[in-house]
Amino acid sequence: QITVYPTIIDKEINISSDKYPISLSVIDLFGREVLRKEIYNNRAIDIDFLKKGTYIVKLKYNDTIINKKIIKK
């Protein structure tokens, strides 16, 4: 299980899972990838640099892909 929280974000998102590594991508509503990281442990990801708006967080572990909508305020 991969968890992303919170969904309304100010400065960072938290990723937690019991399986690693996880490939993380943050995609804007135009389909542009604005952030890509490999995650190897539970951690907070800084997204303070993003403009206000809605984004999709795409998480991939092996053949599992999870998309979560987040809002940067």
pLDDT band at 1 (very low <50, low <70, confident <90, very high): confident
> For the whole model, what pTM was predicted?
0.90
**Tens-place pLDDT, residues 37-67:** 999 998 899 999 999 999 999 999 999 999 9
Arithmetic mean of pLDDT, 13-39: 95
Bond before 21 cis per omega within 30 degrees = yes
pLDDT value at position 19? 87
Mean pLDDT of all residues in the chain? 94
Closest CA to 41 of 62, 20, 58: 20
